[in-house]
Amino acid sequence: MSPSQSQTTPAPLPADVYSESIEQQFAIIRDFLLTPLGAALLANDPWVRRRVATPSELARHVAARVYRSKPFFVTAEIAQAIFSASRSLPEYTFTAESFPCPKAFVWLQEPICLYEGPRFSRRVLLHAFHWMLDKQLADEEGRIPVLFDGYLVDPDRPKGVPTFHVTVNVGWTLDEHYGAHAGEAIQQLSKPAGSPYHEDLSDILGPVFVRFVASCLSFMEQRITIPVSRPASRATRRRLERKHDAFQPAAEVQVIELRRRERRHHEHADEGDRERASRRSHIHPVGEIPSPSRPSQPTGIQSCVARGNDRDEA
């Protein structure tokens, strides 16, 4: 392999790095199902305040949704690029085919900032999210809901607490104005600053979060990014199995990666074609035989990220 090729091929992530998603899956099940910590963290959840569920019931519900979900891992660079691009996402329609699997737990290597400003005392950081698509939950009109939980960094649990919940129906279309600017959404809140922010968090930050998720799915549909099954770290699996016999960690993690483009291969092939064509041109007086056209490179990520960076930060 030539030096130029080695520079353009990123080194694969170590298994211990992307297996963090499995570690965090187990940590949620442990904290929200096997200890009282989960109920304490969810005592101020909107669903609890609306008496939809008690803190203990909600904690068990959170753990049950994460359990058996397919683990995903997104590197810091890709997550930030997708978030930047989400600000200029023109529109996106959620379909059943948008989701690679019905239930997923997506761990972000580094949290992304959904909002930083005067409304909240600290930056609002998203560290993970979960989706669940269940056709059995369709309503009388046949609408199928997709349930999302956003895990925000919390002083009492830095790895994330499912602080807000968002539901999107399959077939719903996100337009270019929905949640495009977090600052605009914050300004629409007219309640005094002393009011509990958890009550309105889903309404305020939900649109920004939904745009980010839609961009994640859109990138995969365009095959700008692809989920690649990577074997989980054996050391991680053995460690988790020792901690709790009933927990069966996933054997694979879906690592979100940029689709590799074999440009070097095509360039070398084109050079060979041109050399052979030049030799053939001595036989064919009409000139060189044109080389085959190169496959089109994926469009969208460069222009999308550029447009996102042109906008003001939320």
Count of residues in the chain: 314
DSSP states of 181-211? -HHHHHHT--S-TTS-GGGGHHHHHHHHHHH
Q: Write down the pLDDT at residue 118.
A: 76
Considering only 8-12, 88-92, 231-235, 265-269, which range has the smallest mean pLDDT?
265-269
Q: What is the pLDDT confidence band of residue 180, given thresholds at 50, 70 and 90? A: low
Q: What is the pLDDT confidence band of residue 182, given thresholds at 50, 70 and 90? A: very low
Considering only 38-52, 82-96, 156-170, 172-186, which range has the smallest mean pLDDT?
172-186
Mean pLDDT of the 263-276 span: 46
Q: Write down the pLDDT at residue 21.
A: 96
116: pLDDT strictly greater than 60: yes
Residue 308, φ and ψ in degrees, nearest 5: -65, -40
* Rounded-to-integer distance, Cα 116 and Cα 119, Å: 8
Single out the residue of 103, 116, 129, 100 nearest to residue 213, CA to CA. Answer: 129
188: pLDDT strictly greater than 50: no
- Please, what is the Cα angle at 276 between 275 and 282, to 5 degrees? 100
What tens digit of pLDDT does each residue of 191-229 get? 333 333 444 566 678 889 999 999 999 999 999 999 999
187: pLDDT strictly greater than 70: no
Query: With pLDDT > 70 as the criterion, what percentage of the chain qualifies?
Result: 70
CA dihedral 245, 35, 148, 180 (to 10 degrees): -130
DSSP states of 83-114? HHHHTT---EE--GGGSSSSEEEEEEEEEEEE
264: pLDDT strictly greater than 70: no
